[in-house]
Amino acid sequence: MAVICPRVRAMPEGWEIKEKPSLFGWVFLRAIPKRGMDMDYEQAVDQLINGAAKPPGSLGLLEKYLRKVLLAWGGLEREVRPHHLIFAADNGVVTEGVVNYPAEITYLQAQNMVDGRATISCFCSGSGIPYTVVDVGTKHQEAAGINRKVALGTKNFMQQEAMSPGEFRQAWETGREMVRSSVEQGYNLLSFGEMGIGNTTTSAAVLHALSGILPEFVVGYGASPGNEETLKRKRLVVAKGVERHRETMKTVEDILRCVGGFDIVAICAAMVECARVKTPFVIDGFITAVAYVCAARMQRETEKFAIPSHLSKEPGMAYALLLGNIRAEDVPIRADMALGEGTGAVLMVSILKNMVYAIFHTARLDDFELSAAVPPATAAV
Ligand SMILES: O=C(O)c1ccc[n+]([C@@H]2O[C@H](COP(=O)([O-])O)[C@@H](O)[C@H]2O)c1
Ligand SMILES: Cc1cc2nc[nH]c2cc1C
């Protein structure tokens, strides 16, 4: 069955339509420059963006990331087909008093997401973005959403490695599997979110171990805003926890396994897989940004497919992105958010949906019948 693409106003001259079949029998249409055209795909994308009826560059960072999405696709797709993936898991380290909420909240809030009663479900439903909750290890016998429980939470990294090599592989495979099946269903823009009480502690520990940036700079309040006692304890836990496993942590995988969480591992794997299947993805807050820097360290190519969304209130956010070569000033949304779940990511997905629609439906600068010539469009996006 063929998908009818929206009627487009601006099919660039000299482009040809190619069919891209998916496993489910859907056929998606994409356009690439015709063979023998005197420009490559990247130049053609720039011409397409710069030729829209607006001053070049006037949509700022939104143009930058529209361009990144089009280049990541490697051929023009005329619509965004988004899918938001949320990974939920518990973290053994919460017994150290690093958060003022009980671990039970993880499963309950993940179930709220499934039931459409969490902020992320409302954001997704309100914007027509399909989403899936994947339980990679909440501390509850039943699963919230798709059951891929590795265990009922990780171990407390202050006492032992958070997960075994086998558990790491299981979480990793789940992340990859979710991306593969999304792409097979025809989704062409993925975004990631998470739910896990204690996961700002595991994320800060991973970032500290990976970069050596001191706990004072990467540990924040998480879900316990303003609680100075908790913050102090959390910094100490991150410092001591990383010190405890220092000798074992030789690779990024070791770090994720010793002080990370099932959610971070699954998201990291999902991002690496996105690069493999050439699908752009949107980063959310601190936890997904840490997963991203791990993915970029493991597979440099991942950077080409990563789109930032918002700058979380967590102090480690800007460091994590910078280690993955995304500067804070290149993050489009600044809203002092710190919810997680992928709430910032799906706002960015909506922006990108608008951008892709606009590039195919706005008039072209060439359409203006002007009495005098204007200088050529040269903005760098
Ligand atoms: O994404 C962020 O930047 C972010 C910042 C602070 C808190 N969170 C969310 O709150 C939980 C983690 O906070 P905590 O204090 O339990 O480590 C987890 O469910 C995250 O989704 C998320
Ligand atoms: C209620 C609640 C909802 C959340 N969503 C993501 N993290 C969360 C943490 C808490 C505590």
> Which among 60, 93, 76 has a CA at the least distance from the CA of 16?
76
Residue 5's pLDDT is 40
| Mean pLDDT value of segment 344-356 | 98
User: What would the pLDDT profile of 355-373 be if each residue is shown by its tens digit?
Assistant: 999 999 999 998 888 887 7
Closest listed ligand to the CA of 111: 2
**What pLDDT sits at residue 21?**
67
The verdict on the CB of residue 287 being under 6 Å from ligand 1 is yes
Residue 370: CB atoms within 10 Å: 7
Distance in Å, CA 339 to ligand 1 centroid: 6
Q: From the alpha carbon of 202, which atom of ligand 1 is closest? A: 17
| Closest Cα to atom 10 of ligand 2 | 223
Q: Is the CB of 223 under 6 A from ligand 1?
A: yes
Measured in Å, residue 176 CA sits from the centre of ligand 1 at 23
Query: Is the CB of 108 inside a 6 Å radius of any atom of ligand 2?
Result: no
Per-residue pLDDT tens over the stretch 123-171: 999 999 999 999 999 999 999 999 999 999 999 999 999 999 999 999 9
* Ligand 1 probe mutation, 227, 287, 343, most atoms within 8 A of CB: 287
Atom of ligand 2 nearest to the CA of 101: 11
Distance, in Å, from the CA atom of 291 to the CA atom of 297, rounded to the nearest integer, reads: 10
Number of Cβ within 10 Å of residue 242's Cβ equals 23
| Res. 302: pLDDT tops 50 | yes
pLDDT tens digit string along 318-330? 999 999 999 999 9
What is the best residue among 85, 199, 267, 310 to mutate for testing ligand 1's pocket, by most ligand atoms within 8 Å of CB?
199
343 pocket-lining for ligand 2 (C-beta < 6 Å): no
Question: Can you tell me which atom of ligand 2 is nearest the CA of 340?
Answer: 6
What ipTM score was computed for the predicted complex, to two decimals?
A: 0.99
Sign of the four-CA dihedral 114, 126, 356, 63: negative
Q: Among positive and negative, which fits the CA dihedral 89, 91, 97, 103?
A: positive
CB contact at 8 A, 303 and 217:
no
SS3 315: coil
Rounded Cα distance between 184 and 287, Å, is: 26
The whole-number average pLDDT for the span 63-72 is 98
The gap from C-alpha 307 to its chain's centroid, in whole angstroms, comes to 7
Q: Which atom of ligand 2 is nearest to the CA of 341?
A: 6
- 139: alpha, beta or left? (left if phi > 0; alpha if psi -120 to 50): beta
- pLDDT tops 50 at residue 6: no
Cβ atoms of 218 and 316 within 8 Å: the answer is yes
Please give the pLDDT value at position 16. Answer: 72
- Sheet arrangement for strand 82-89: 146-147, 131-137, 82-89, 189-195, 281-282, 306-307
Angle at 260 between CA 256 and CA 262, to 5 degrees: 95
Reported confidence tier of residue 27, pLDDT bands at 50, 70, 90 = low
Distance (Å) from CA 225 to ligand 2 centroid: 12
Identify the CA nearest to 48 among candidates 370, 304, 364: 364
How far apart, in whole angstroms, are the C-alpha atoms of residue 128 and residue 60?
25
Q: Which of 44-53, 116-125, 256-265 has the lowest mean pLDDT?
A: 44-53
The domain ranges of the chain are: 2-79+357-379, 82-352
Cα 216 to ligand 1 centre (Å): 17
What is the whole-number distance in angstroms between the Cα of residue 257 and the centre of ligand 1? 20
- Please tell me if the CB atom of residue 194 comes closer than 6 angstroms to any atom of ligand 1: yes
Strands across the sheet containing 27-33: 15-21, 27-33, 76-77
pLDDT tier at 2 (50, 70, 90 boundaries)? very low
Identify the CATH assignment for 82-352 out of 3.40.109.10, 3.40.50.1980, 3.40.50.10860, 3.40.50.10210. Answer: 3.40.50.10210
- Which residues participate in catalysis according to the annotation? 341
- What's the pLDDT tens digit per position in 73-132? 999 898 999 999 999 999 999 999 999 999 999 999 999 999 999 999 999 999 999 999
Dihedral class, residue 282 (left if φ above 0, else alpha if ψ from -120 to 50, else beta): beta
Interatomic CA distance for residues 302 and 296, integer angstroms: 5
Instruction: Give the residue-averaged pLDDT of 171-175.
Output: 99
Q: Are 130 and 82 a contacting pair, CB within 8 Å?
A: yes
Weakest mean pLDDT among 16-30, 70-84, 186-200, 307-321: 16-30
Please provide the average confidence, as pLDDT, over all residues in the chain.
93
User: Dihedrals φ, ψ of 50, to 5°?
Assistant: -75, -20
pLDDT, residue 340, reads: 98
> Could you give the 3-state DSSP secondary structure of residue 17?
strand
Cα–Cα distance measured from residue 358 to residue 348, given in angstroms and rounded to the nearest whole number: 15
Measured CA to CA, the distance from residue 77 to residue 75 in angstroms comes to: 6
Rounded to an integer, the average pLDDT of 4-33 is 62
> In the numeric block, which tokens belong to residue 160?
């032992």
CB 316 near ligand 1, within 6 Å: no
Give the pLDDT score at 4.
Answer: 33
Q: Which residue has the tokens 């809030």?
A: 109
296-331 exposure pattern, b = at least 16 Cβ within 10 A, e = fewer: bbbbeebbebbbbbbbbbbbbbbbbbebbebeeeeb
137 ligand 2 Cβ < 6 A: no
